Amino acid sequence: MNFYRHVMAHLRKDLRLEWRSRDSMTGMLFFSLLVVVVFAMAFDPTAAVSRQISGGILWMTLLFASTMALNQAWTREQRNSVLDAQRMAPASAAALFFGKALANMIFVTGVEAVLAPLFTVFYNLHALGQGWLLLIVMPLGTWALVANGTFFAALGLRTRNRELMLPLVLFPISIPALLAMIQATTGILTGEIEPDLWIRLLVVYDVVFTTACLLLFDTLLNAE
């Protein structure tokens, strides 16, 4: 019960901070929109080609955009040494991680909500497979990015080149999840690949990495 209350306190605080500063969302939105427009103009793909490549473009765009937001995620806690006050509190570190990951999930999902209709228009998309499966793939894929991203962004708190550190660690470790996200999305859009296996892989990836992050976050937070 304490865990839930503390997670909600962190989540409410992060949403309120973002609402007032709009640091993360603005950057992510502009970056994503630019990538979508630039790719559409650069390739001018046919409908068939669009279905083949749009899964990859979508997830790559979200990966790069979320990296921008994730780099910001802990900056607020470092400013004014608020992180020290959080470390002093009897609330669990896992609650802090989970609350922040949920907040990042909401921010990236917000960007996806804006991006989805634009993607459909620019790439002339309609799913030939089971389109409703995207409602499962999108949150699973987004969680894989933000859970790991939140954890590894905290890992870079005490390093000098934090902005460089996050992609260096996050991208390689996200490769299995990225592969599953892209294959599942492409499978749904083209109807040529069965996405079930890739969705199952995403579920396993999310469960394993979320558990590892929750267990290790206290050590990470208090490491010198």
Partner 1 sequence: MQTTEQASPVATTTPAAVLAGVSKLFGTFAAIRNLSLTIKAGTITVLLGQNGAGKSTLLRLLAGLTAPTRGSVTVLGDAPERRRGRIAYMSHAPMLYDELSAMENLQYFATLNAVGGGCDCVGSPEMALRAVGLDPHLAKPVGQYSQGMRQRTSLARVLQSDPEVLLLDEPFSNLDVGSAQHIVELLADFKTWPIHGGASGRTIVLTTHQAHLAESIADLTLTMDRGAISR
Residues lying near partner 1 in the complex (CB under 8 A): 1-2, 5-6, 9, 12-13, 16-17, 20-21, 76, 79-82, 84-91, 222, 224
Q: How far is the CB of 218 from partner 1 (least distance, A)?
A: 10
- Nearer to partner 1 (CB atom), residue 16 or residue 126: 16
Q: How far is the CB of 85 from partner 1 (least distance, A)?
A: 4
Q: How far is the CB of 74 from partner 1 (least distance, A)?
A: 13
Name the E strands within 134-201.
Answer: none
- Nearer to partner 1 (CB atom), residue 15 or residue 127: 15
- Nearer to partner 1 (CB atom), residue 208 or residue 215: 215
- Nearer to partner 1 (CB atom), residue 86 or residue 120: 86
SS3 95: helix
